[in-house]
Structure 1
Amino acid sequence: MTGRYWESTLPGAGRRAPRADAVSDAAVRSLNGVWRFRLSPTAAGTGDGFFATEFDDTDWDAMRVPSHWVLEEFTPLAGGPARRMLGTEEGPLYTNTAYPIPLDPPYVSTENPTGDYRLVFEVPDDFGAAVLRFQGVDSCAKVWLNGEELGWSTGSRLPFEFDAPVRAGRNVLAVRVHRWSAGTYLEDQDMWWLPGIFRDVELLARPAGAIDDHFVHADYDPVSGVGTLRVDASVDAVVEIPELGISMPTGQTVAFPVEPWSADTPRLYRGTLSAAGESVELAIGFRRVEIVDGVFVVNGSPLTFRGVNRHEHHPDTGRTLDRETMIQDIVMMKRANIDSVRTSHYPPHPEFLRLCDEYGLWVVLEVDLETHGFIYEGWEHNPPALPEWREAIMDRLHRTVERDKNHPSIVVWSLANESMSGDGFTEMRRWLDERDPSRVVLYERDPSYRDSDFYSLMYPSLELLESIGRREEPRGGKLSMHGMVFDGPDEPLPAGVTEAEEERRRGLPFLLVEYAHAMGNGPGGLQDYWRVLRSYDRLCGGFVWEWIDHGINAVDAEGRAFILQSEDIDYEPRGGRFSLDGLVLSDRTPKPALAELAKAHEVIDIEVGERVRIANERHAADTSDLRFRWSVEADGRSVADGLLDVPTIARGERVEIAIPDAAASALRATDAVLTVEATLAAETLWAPEGHVIAWAQKIAAPVEDAVRRTGNPAGATSRDGDVIRVGEASFDAATGRLLGLGDLQIDGPWIDLYRAPTENDRGQGDNNNLAAVWHATGLHRLLHRVDDVGLDGERLVVRGRTAPRTHPHGVTWTMTWVPDGDGVRLETSVDFVGPWADTPYKHRDIWVPRVGLRFALPTAADRVAWFGRGPEETYVDSVQGARVGRFARTIDSVQTPYPIPQENGNHTQTRWLDVSGEEMATLHVDGDPFDFTARRWTSEQLEQARRPSDLVAGDRVWLNIDHRQQGIGSASVGPALPEQYRVPREHTVWSVRLSVG
C-alpha cells in the first residue's frame, strides 16, 4: 500500500499552513485557462513520466481549468472525435445519501478515474518568491512543479497552497486528480459527484515582508454604539481606515463610535493593512454575536434568519461559478427578501463571501464534512467517532475558519452536515472556542447538542415547531434519514445523552436548519411556518431546502434539449430526482415558489382593513429608505393611485394610517382592488428605485352584473330529438354531455378527482407517498357512467357515477343545468360512496387530490384572462405570494416548465375566467371562487411524460374548473400535508356560470 496517498486518512502533505483569504496588491498570475489533459481509468493515471518538464503532451486533450472533466467536451489536440461523458457512469453521478463507492474506508476501488493535467506557463524575471494556490480540487490532487513533487491534498471545497519554486521563463505544472479517495468518505453531501480542478488556480508573489495571514477582530457594543477594533497579522503592519481616521500598528486595540454591520444595513469600513512587502484590502464590519437567555442575538437584537440553503451549481459548469453568477444569485435572493444563506454543505468560493459582506447576507458557513452514507452500516465506522480520521477532520475545520475568519457576514460556524456524532466534533468545538469565540457554533445531528449553541432539526411538523417555540417539545424523539421528526410523546433519552445535556438543550435557541423542501412544484405551507417562526423568540428562523435545481443541460438522441438528472444515468446507487429541489430552475429562472417565499419573508408587515397597519420587523434598519404607495385597479385598469404619508418607523415599531379618501371611493368599482406597497425610495446595490419589498391588498366585494339574472324566458329549455337545449347550451339527450354553448364547441364536463402527482405527492420512500395511494385506489383511471338524464321544468338534471376500475368505491354526482340570462348555470353535487379503504393502504386515509370538472375545448383556444390570484400558479397552501387582480396569459405560458412534468398551472380564488382564441367564441366562466387550469394535455398525459419534450399538444384544450384542489406541501422530505389543505371526502356542492361572447 506504500504510496497510495489517495487512500490515506491524512489530509495531505507538503502544504502551507491555512491562512486568511485576502485581496492583495502583490503580483498574482492566474493559471486558469486551457490545460493539457488525459483521463485514465485507475489511480495510476498516465504513469510516472507525465510530470517531467519535457514530457510530450501534444496528443493530449484540451481541458478548461477551472472545470469538471465530466461536464466538458474533450477536444483532442492531435485530432480525433471529441468526447463528452454526460449520461454515462463515467460522467456526473448524483447520490443523496449513499456513497457511489463500496463502504470500505479509507479504501476505494481500483476503478478510479484519474485526470492528469499539465500546464506550461511563463513567469517574469522579477516575480520572486511564489505560492501556488488551488481554490478547489475534487477529490484528491498531487502536484508537481518543474518535475519536483510539491505535495498532495484532499478536502475538495477548500483551498490548499504550496511554496512554489518557480523559475523565470518557462515553468511546467503537473497535477494528478483522483475522482475517488479517502476524502470521498468525508464528502457525502447530497450532490453531484463532479471531479476536477473546478476552482481557480493562482500563482501568488510573496515579496519579503509580505503579510501571510491576518485576523480582524471587530466587536460592537449595542448599548454604547462603540466599536472595538484590533487587527493581528503575521508580520508588523499598519492598519489604515481613512473614514475613521485610523492609522495604527497591528496588535493595537482602539474604540470609537461606529455603525454596525447587519444584513439589512451592511456597513463596511474599508481600508488597508500594509507591510513592507504587501498591502491587503480590509472591509471591516463591526458586529457582536451572542446567545442571551436562550435567544440568538446580533448587535443586541434577536436575529431571525430568512434563509435558503445554497449549493454551488450551474447547469453547464457544475460547481464552477463565475463572479457574475454569484452576483445574480445574491441579487435574486435579496429581491426575494432572503437575508441569509447556509452554505450547504461546504465553504463556497471566497468571492461569494466577499459579496455577502458587501450586499448584505447573513452566512452560516458549513465545514466541508458529511458522512451520511455510514448510515447504511449503522454508523459503525463513522469517521468523526474514530481517532484515525481526526487529523483530516480538524484540517477541514482549520482551512475553513482560517480562510474565512474576516468576513462580518459569517455569524455561525457549522461543524458538518448529517454526520451523526463523535468525539471529533468535541475537538472541533474546543478549537473553535479558542480560535474564534466571536461567533456561535451549530451542529444539528448529534442528539446531545453538546457541541452546538443551537437546538436544530430538519423538517419538523408545524405542531412540533410550535411546541419547540414554547420550549415544550417532547423529550427524546426519533429521526429519519433526513432528520424528519415523527411527533410523539416523551421517550427515553437517546443513547449517550445525559439529563444535564437534555436540560441544556431545552435552553438553547432553535434553528430550523432545513425545512420546506422545494422539490418540483412546491413547497407549500411557507406562510404557516412563518406564522410560527414570528411568534417565539426562541425560534431564530430557518433555511429552505434549497436555492437552485441541480439539473445539467443536455441534448437527447433526437437533438432535443433537456435537463439531465440522476435517473437519466444508468448507474446505481442513484439519488432519485432529489437533485431538482430548488426555488429556482437550473438556469436560475424563478419558480412560482420564490414569490411565495418573498411574501412569507417580508420584514415590513402591511395589513389593509378599515385602516392601513404597518409594522417594521427588520433586524436593524428603520423605514427611512422606503416609500409607501397605494393604487386601485378596477376591472384590470388603474383608476387611482398615490403616496401614503407614513412616518419613519423604527425597528420593532408599528403605525396605523387612514385609507385615503380617493382610494376608498375607487374601491366601489367592479372588481376593485386596493394595493399598498413598500418600495425602495432610491436605487440600491441589489435593486432599482421602486422595487417592491412588501405589499398587501384589500379586495372589494363583487359587484353583481345587472345584465345577468337567474332564470330566463319561458320555453328556453326544450328538447328536439337527440338534443336538449338549455338557454344557449345544447346537450346530448342520451348522455347529458354538453355539446356546445352558443357558437362554441365544448365537450364535457366530466367529474375529475385526479391530478398528475407532484414530487411532493410522491413523499419520501413509502412515507407520505400519496401518488402510490392514488394509484392503488385507481384514481388515475376513472370511468364515468350516466344513470339518468331528465328535464325538471327549466332545469336539465344529469345523474351518474364516476369510479375506478377494479374497486367498489367512487362518487355519485348530479349536474343541474339552469338558464341564466345570456348563459347557463351549472350546479354540481358529489357524494363519495363505497369502501374507500379497500386497498393495501387500509390503514391510511385516502385523500383525493381534487374535486372538480374537466371540459374539452377546441384547439384554437390559446389565451386565458381571469380575475383572481396570479399571474403565476397558486394552490391552497401556496397563494399569498400571488396578487389578486385581472391577468391575461397564453395557455402555453401558464404552464410552469418543471424539468419533471407534474401538476402545475393551477389558479385559486378565481372569480371569473375567459378562454379565447382566433375564430373561436370566448368562453366566460364565473361563480363562487374556483380553481382553474388550462393545458393542451390531460393530467394523465402529464403524468406519463418523462420530460417536457414528451408533452405534445393534442386536438383539444383541457380546462379544469374545480371546487378545490389539494395543496402541494413539502412531503418529498418533510411532514404530511396538513389537514386544512386536503380535499375532504364529503358531500360537496358548488356552482359556476358559463356563457360565450
Structure 2
Amino acid sequence: MRKIFLIVALVNAMSALAQTRPDWENPEVFAINKENTRSTSIPYATEAQALKNHYSNSPFYKSLNGNWQFYWVDKIADVPKDFYLEENYSDNIKQKWKKGEPNQTSGQSGWTLMPVPGNWEFNGYGIPMYVNIGYGFTINPPFIDRNDSPTGAYRHKFEIPKDWDGRRVYLHFEAGTNSMYVWVNGKKVGYTENSKSPAEFDITEYIRPGSNLLACQVHKFSDGYYMEDQDMWRLGGINRNVYLYTTAQTRIQDFFSLADLDAKYKDGLFSAEVNVQNYTQKAIAQTIEVSIVDKLGKKVFSQNQKVDIASNSISTAKVAGVIKNPLQWTAETPNLYNMIITLRDDQNKVIETTSHRIGFRKVEIKDGQLLVNGKKILVKGVNLHEFNTNTGNVVDSATMIRNIQLMKELNINAVRMSHYPQSPLWYRLCDEYGLYLVDEANLESHGLGQGESNIAYFDEWQNAHLDRMIRLVERDKNHASVIIWSLGNEASNGKAYYAMYEWAKKRDKSRPVQYEQAFWKENTDIVCPMYPSWNQMVDVSKKDIGRPYIMCEYAHAMGNSMGNFQDYWDLIRSSKNMQGGFIWEWYNHGYKTKDEQGREYFAYGGDLYGYNKQNDGNFCMDGIISPDLQYLPHTHIVKKVYQNILFESKNPNSGKVTVINDFKFIPVTPKDHSFKWVLQKNGEQIAEGNFEVTIAADSRQDVQLKLPKIEQEAGAEYYLQVFAYTKNATQLIDAGFEVAKEEFQLTGNNYFVNKSKDGEPVKKFEEGGWKLTFVANGVTYEFGKNDGLRWVNGPGKDYITKFPTPNFWRAPTDNDFGEKAQQKMRVWEAASYLRQTKFDGVDEKNGAYEIRFTVKPVGVEAEVKLVYLVNKDGSLTVDATYRALSDNLPELPRFGFNFELQNRFHNFTWYGRGPWENYIDRKFDTFMGIWKGDVKDQAFAYYRPQETGNKTDVRWLTLTDDSGKGIRIEGGQPLSVSATNYRIEDLDAGLTKKQQHFKDVIPAKNVVLNVDLFQRGVAGLDAWQSPPLDQYRHFGKEYRYNFTLSYIQ
C-alpha cells in the first residue's frame, strides 16, 4: 500500500508541476493560438499579380522587416515588466549598435534597435556559441539554465492600410528563435516553439485601424531547444522575414497539388485539394478555379469546382485531370508550370487568387532503387546549413543564388536541408534552377543519447515531435524540388519517429521518407547511413539490399581533407543500391572578423567571446566552400568526381576515347557542349584538337581522336587530356565553362631513365680525418663524417640555408587529429630532429664520388641508408633507403627530405600535378603539366593551421630568383614536394589542437622545401576516427628513392 501511495503522490506532484511550469519549460506546450502551417503563399487581387508572384505587388501583403525596438537580457527573469503594453512604448529609441563595437555579453542592454531579420550576436548582444553535440548548459529536460537564458524583448509599430478594414489579418513569422510570445496592442496573441518553421497568428481581433503595436518576447532557450541540438552556431534573434497578409472573410486556406506522371512517364496526372475557409456565421457556396499555365502563358489545364462551406469551417475542393506530354521536372530539366488558384463568389467575382510553381515528376522506389521519372538517379549531394559569414543565419537571396551557382559549377544535384526546413525562398529557387532536396524536420536531440533515455521515447514529448514533422510537410508539400522527407537527425529512433513516419506516409504518398537513426528498420524507405566505414560500404556494394542506399552524410570535409572521394564513387557506381550521398558539408562556418591588430580571419567555436563557453572548436570548419563562398583546394575534387560527362579509354595511345553521358534526362549535343583534347610531352603541349559528340541521356559513345604518331623515346612521356565545356551561357553558368575533364597516361615510354652527367672527374680532398671535400665542375661540396652535407661553394653558394635532412613528419591535419595520429605517430616527429649519423665510407664511381652514411633516428628502431653521389657535372644525387628494424613501428606518415633556401628563390616551377595542392588520395582533379607560382601562394591558409601545399607525381622542380638563378631538383621516380614559407613545426599544434588561426603563424624568412617519396593521404571518411584508406598509408619495411640537385646560373 505504501508503494502504491508513493506512486500516486508522485504522479499527482508531476501533474501539478506540469500545470505550474512556464510554457517554455513544458514539452506539452509548443503552440498557443497558432495557425496550422500551410503551403507558403500570398493572396493577390488578380490572376496577373498571382502569375508574377511577387509578394510586394500584392495589395494584401505588408512586410514588417526593418529596425525594431529591442531590449536584451541575459536572464529571462530580467525581461522588462509589461514592456508589451502601449503605455510603456516610446518613439524616442534611436540608439543602435555599431559594427566594430564589443558585444554586450551579460546584464541588460536597455532599449535599442535591432534589425529584423537579424541575429542578436551579430548586432551587439550575446555570445555566438558553436556546439556540435550538447546544449551549453546542464542537461535536464525540459528545464533550461535560468541563469543563462538570453531573451530579447521586441516592439514594433505598424500601420493597417485603410482598405484592409473588415478583412482578416494574419501575422506571419517565417521563423524565430527557439520560442516566442506575441502581443498586439498589449494583448497576448499566442506562443510558438520551433526556431525553423513558420509561426502564423490570426490577429484580426487584436488590431485596429491605423497604428498598432507588435511586441515579442524571444527566448534563445526553451524546452524545445532539447530538440534542436544541431551541429551549428547557436544564435538568437528573429532570423527570417516577418509580414502581414490579409484575406476576405472567406479565403484559400491551403492547397496540396500533385503533379505526377503516368505509369509510362509520359502524360501528367494532376490533382489538387484546395481548402477554403469560411469565417462568417452563415454557409456559403463559392467556386474554386485551378489553372495550369506554361512558360509561354498558355493554359494547359483549367477546372472549376463548386464548394459549399458551412459557417466557421473549412471545406475542400478537389480537381484532377490529365496533361498530355508535359515538360517534365528534374534537377537537370527544371521545367515549371504556374498553378493559379482563384476563389470566386456566387457572382463569379474574384475574392482572391494565389499561385505556386509546380513541376511534373514522379518519385518512387522500385527494385531497391530511387527513381525520378522512371530513371535511377545518382545523388551528387551536399548538406547545407543556413549561414552567412557576415550576418549569422540570416541568409539573403543573393547568397542563396550564389550557393546554387556554385553547386551547379561543382555538378552538385542534390541538397539535404541539414537539419531543418530553411527559408521558403530557397525552395522556390531550387524549383527554378533544379536541385533535388531532402527536406528535414527541425529535430535533433544528439546530446541526450541514442537510447531509451532520449525524449523521443517519452510520452509528454510525442506531440512536440510530431508537430515539427507536420509543419515541415505542410509548408513544403507543393515544391517539385522536394523529393524526400526526412524525420530529423541524430535523435534516436524512439516511438515518436514511428508515429512521424506513419503520419508522413499517410499525408503524402508521392515521396519516400528517410531517417538515418532508423538504420535498417521499417520506418525508413531509404537506408541513409552517415559515415559508414569503408569495409561496411564494400560489403553493401556486393549485395542487393532491397532498398536504396544513400548516405545522408559522408566525406567529412574538415580542414585539408576530401581524400578517397574518387574511391567512394568508384564503389558507388559498382553497386546496384548505392546511389550517392550528401557531403558534410557545404560551408566552412567561420564568421569574418578582425583581431586586436586589425587582421581579418574567420572565427570558429571558442572565438568571439566564446572560449569559456562550451564549444567544439574548429569542428564547424568542415565544408567544401569557404565562408565567403570561394573555392578551397579540395573543392575541385568534388567538381571532378561529380562531373556529368565521363571519359574512359582502354588504349589511349590509339586515340580512342569513350565519352559517357552521366546525365539521366538530357542528351549531350554539339548545341550544348564543346570538347577539346590536348596531348602533352613532358608537360608541354605538342598537339590539340576539338571534337563533337551527340550522346543520348545515360548513354556512351566512342570517339576517335586524331592524335599524332607517338615515337618511342627514352626520357619522354605523354599524357592525353580531354575537356568538356558549356556551349551557351545560362542564368548561372557562363559559356565556355569547363564542366568535365579526364587525363590518360600513354604507355610505352619511360620518363625515368638515367641521364648522363658528363664532365671532368670529381676531385676529392680529405682534411683532418673528419671532413671530406669534393670539387666538380666548379661546385665544392663539403661533408662532415659526423653530420653529412655541410657546405656548398661556387655556383649555388649560400642558396641553401638548411641542407637536406631526413624527414618523417607532417603538421597534423584535422583528420589526423581525429584518429589521434598526432599521438600514435608522434615518434616520427622526434625522429625528424633527433638522429645519429655514422659515416660508412666513400668510393669513386666512374669519375664521380659516392659518400655513404647511416642515419638512425633516436628512439625509433629504423634507419636510413643515405648515399650522396657527387656527379661530374657538379650536381648532387641523394639516394635514400629507409629500413624498419622492428615489426612494431607505427605507420610512417612521410618519407623525404627537408631543405631551406634563401627567400629570394620565390619563383616555383614544377612538372607534376597542379596547379593547386594535391595528395596521394586527392589528386585526380589535378593534371600533369609544367606549373608556375610564387612560393608565398603555395600554402593554403587553412582556418586551423595544418599540412598544406603538397604536389604529387612531380618529375622536376626549380626554385629561382628574379634573375633566373636557383636550384633544380629532378626525381629518379615521381616525387611528392612542397615549397612554402612555413616550417612544419610552425603548423604543428602538438598533441592537442590550439585556439589558433593561420593569421597567427609567422612565415619563415626562408623557402621551406620538402622533397619526399610520399606522405600519407589526407583521408576523407570522417574527422574523428578513420585513417586514410589502406592504399594511401605506408607500413612497408623498406622504401628507396633518389633525386638530383643541381644549380641554375
Tell me whether the two structures share a fold, i.e. TM-score over 0.5.
yes
Residues of 2 paired with 1:952 and 1:889: CA distance?
Answer: 21
Q: Is the 8 A contact 1:670 1:702 kept in 2?
A: no
Pick which of 523-532 and 255-264 moved more: 255-264
Residue 23 to residue 636, structure 1, CA distance change in 2 (3 Å): farther
1:263 counterpart = 2:304: no
Aligned CA RMSD, in angstroms, stands at 3.1
Name the larger-Rg structure: 2
Residues of 1 paired with 2:341 and 2:508: CA distance?
Answer: 20
1:552 counterpart = 2:598: no
Mapping of residues 828-847 of structure 1, within 5 Å: 828-833=880-885, 836-837=888-889, 846-847=890-891
Q: Is the 8 A contact 1:346 1:367 kept in 2?
A: yes
1:16 counterpart = 2:35: yes
1:981 counterpart = 2:1032: yes
Residues 210-239 of structure 1 show CA distances to partners (whole Å, capped at 9, x for unaligned) of 422111110013625111112221234322
Residues of 1 paired with 2:489 and 2:1039: CA distance?
Answer: 47
User: How far does residue 353 in structure 1 lie from its aligned partner after superposition?
Assistant: 1.1
Which amino acid in the other structure matches residue 38 of structure 1?
Y
Residue 759 to residue 333, structure 1, CA distance change in 2 (3 Å): same
Residue of structure 1 equivalent to 2:358: 284
Residues of 2 paired with 1:656 and 1:146: CA distance?
Answer: 73
Which amino acid in the other structure matches residue 411 of structure 1?
I
User: How far does residue 653 in structure 1 lie from its aligned partner after superposition?
Assistant: 1.7
1:574 counterpart = 2:615: yes
User: How far does residue 961 in structure 1 lie from its aligned partner after superposition?
Assistant: 0.7
Which amino acid in the other structure matches residue 182 of structure 2?
V
Residues of 2 paired with 1:224 and 1:280: CA distance?
Answer: 29
Residue of structure 2 equivalent to 1:34: 67
Residue of structure 1 equivalent to 2:579: 540
Q: Is the 8 A contact 2:520 2:527 kept in 1?
A: no
1:62 counterpart = 2:62: no
Q: In structure 1, the residue corresponding to 2:834 is in which secondary structure?
A: strand
Q: Is the 8 A contact 1:925 1:994 kept in 2?
A: yes
Residues 85-137 of structure 1 show CA distances to partners (whole Å, capped at 9, x for unaligned) of 68999401122122222221111111211111111223321234321111111
1:131 counterpart = 2:170: yes
1:958 counterpart = 2:1008: yes
Residue 959 to residue 604, structure 1, CA distance change in 2 (3 Å): same
Q: Is the 8 A contact 1:752 1:852 kept in 2?
A: yes
Identify which of 150, 163, 171 aligns with 1:113: 150
Residue of structure 2 equivalent to 1:310: 384
Which amino acid in the other structure matches residue 7 of structure 1?
E
Residue 274 to residue 719, structure 1, CA distance change in 2 (3 Å): farther
Residues of 2 paired with 1:36 and 1:671: CA distance?
Answer: 70
Residue of structure 2 equivalent to 1:386: 458
Residues 232-287 of structure 1 show CA distances to partners (whole Å, capped at 9, x for unaligned) of 21234322233353222362211121122111111112342223333323311111
Which amino acid in the other structure matches residue 118 of structure 1?
R
User: How far does residue 167 in structure 1 lie from its aligned partner after superposition?
Assistant: 3.2
Identity in percent: 30
Residue 673 to residue 209, structure 1, CA distance change in 2 (3 Å): farther
Mapping of residues 489-500 of structure 1, within 5 Å: none
Residue of structure 2 equivalent to 1:46: 79
Identify which of 733, 748, 758 aligns with 2:803: 748
Residue of structure 1 equivalent to 2:347: none
Residues of 1 paired with 2:143 and 2:211: CA distance?
Answer: 38
Q: Is the 8 A contact 1:810 1:832 kept in 2?
A: yes
Mapping of residues 325-474 of structure 1, within 5 Å: 325-375=399-449, 379-447=451-519, 449-471=521-543
Identify which of 914, 928, 935 aligns with 1:870: 914
Residue 273 to residue 85, structure 1, CA distance change in 2 (3 Å): closer
Residue of structure 2 equivalent to 1:801: 855
Which amino acid in the other structure matches residue 853 of structure 1?
F
Residue 205 to residue 861, structure 1, CA distance change in 2 (3 Å): farther
1:929 counterpart = 2:965: no
Residue 662 to residue 168, structure 1, CA distance change in 2 (3 Å): farther
Residue 822 to residue 263, structure 1, CA distance change in 2 (3 Å): farther
Residues of 1 paired with 2:475 and 2:709: CA distance?
Answer: 55
Q: Is the 8 A contact 2:660 2:698 kept in 1?
A: yes
Residue 702 to residue 170, structure 1, CA distance change in 2 (3 Å): farther
Q: Is the 8 A contact 1:515 1:543 kept in 2?
A: yes
User: How far does residue 325 in structure 1 lie from its aligned partner after superposition?
Assistant: 0.5
Residue 95 to residue 78, structure 1, CA distance change in 2 (3 Å): closer
Identify which of 220, 237, 255 aligns with 1:214: 255
Residues 840-871 of structure 1 show CA distances to partners (whole Å, capped at 9, x for unaligned) of xxxxxx11211011111001122211121111
Pick which of 239-248 and 922-931 moved more: 239-248
Residue 919 to residue 682, structure 1, CA distance change in 2 (3 Å): closer
Mapping of residues 665-684 of structure 1, within 5 Å: 673-684=719-730
Residue of structure 1 equivalent to 2:213: 172
Q: Which structure 2 residue ranges, 5 or more long, are not aligned?
A: 1-16, 45-57, 114-118, 277-286, 306-317, 344-349
Residues of 1 paired with 2:456 and 2:110: CA distance?
Answer: 43
Residue 353 to residue 224, structure 1, CA distance change in 2 (3 Å): closer
Q: In structure 2, the residue corresponding to 1:901 is in which secondary structure?
A: coil
Output the TM-score relative to the length of structure 1: 0.89
Residues 591-638 of structure 1 show CA distances to partners (whole Å, capped at 9, x for unaligned) of 221111111112221124231111122222221332222234567665
Residue of structure 1 equivalent to 2:314: none
Which amino acid in the other structure matches residue 275 of structure 2?
S
Mapping of residues 441-840 of structure 1, within 5 Å: 441-447=513-519, 449-471=521-543, 506-568=545-607, 569-608=610-649, 609=652, 610=654, 611-624=656-669, 625-633=672-680, 639-646=686-693, 648-661=694-707, 673-699=719-745, 709-719=755-765, 723-727=773-777, 729-734=779-784, 735-737=787-789, 739-740=791-792, 742-743=795-796, 745-746=799-800, 747-763=802-818, 768-775=819-826, 778-779=829-830, 782-788=833-839, 790-793=841-844, 794-804=848-858, 807-819=859-871, 821=873, 823-833=875-885, 836-837=888-889
User: How far does residue 701 in structure 1 lie from its aligned partner after superposition?
Assistant: 6.8
Residues of 2 paired with 1:663 and 1:687: CA distance?
Answer: 37
Residues 510-557 of structure 1 show CA distances to partners (whole Å, capped at 9, x for unaligned) of 121111110100121001110111111211211111111111223223
User: How far does residue 901 in structure 1 lie from its aligned partner after superposition?
Assistant: 0.3
Mapping of residues 86-165 of structure 1, within 5 Å: 90-111=126-147, 112-128=149-165, 129-165=168-204
User: How far does residue 427 in structure 1 lie from its aligned partner after superposition?
Assistant: 1.2
Residues of 1 paired with 2:520 and 2:1032: CA distance?
Answer: 35
Residues of 1 paired with 2:80 and 2:398: CA distance?
Answer: 39
Residues 937-974 of structure 1 show CA distances to partners (whole Å, capped at 9, x for unaligned) of 21111114821122212232110011011101134145
Residues of 2 paired with 1:957 and 1:11: CA distance?
Answer: 61
Identify which of 191, 206, 212 aligns with 2:232: 191
Q: Which structure 1 residue ranges, 5 or more long, are not aligned?
A: 473-505, 838-845
Q: Is the 8 A contact 2:714 2:753 kept in 1?
A: no
User: How far does residue 929 in structure 1 lie from its aligned partner after superposition?
Assistant: 1.3
Residue 12 to residue 369, structure 1, CA distance change in 2 (3 Å): same
Residue 859 to residue 263, structure 1, CA distance change in 2 (3 Å): same
Residues of 1 paired with 2:361 and 2:509: CA distance?
Answer: 13
User: How far does residue 323 in structure 1 lie from its aligned partner after superposition?
Assistant: 0.6
User: How far does residue 197 in structure 1 lie from its aligned partner after superposition?
Assistant: 0.5
Residue of structure 2 equivalent to 1:301: 375
Residue 144 to residue 629, structure 1, CA distance change in 2 (3 Å): same
Residues 815-859 of structure 1 show CA distances to partners (whole Å, capped at 9, x for unaligned) of 32241646333222222235745xxxxxxxx11211011111001
Residues 697-720 of structure 1 show CA distances to partners (whole Å, capped at 9, x for unaligned) of 234579899999424234234337
Residues of 1 paired with 2:714 and 2:581: CA distance?
Answer: 41
Pick which of 635-644 and 277-286 moved more: 635-644
Q: Is the 8 A contact 1:523 1:593 kept in 2?
A: yes
Q: In structure 2, the residue corresponding to 1:868 is in which secondary structure?
A: strand
Q: Is the 8 A contact 2:120 2:126 kept in 1?
A: no
Output the TM-score relative to the length of structure 2: 0.85
Residues 644-688 of structure 1 show CA distances to partners (whole Å, capped at 9, x for unaligned) of 132x21123211111114597999997754321222221123211
Residue 294 to residue 617, structure 1, CA distance change in 2 (3 Å): same
Residue 864 to residue 108, structure 1, CA distance change in 2 (3 Å): same
User: How far does residue 397 in structure 1 lie from its aligned partner after superposition?
Assistant: 0.9
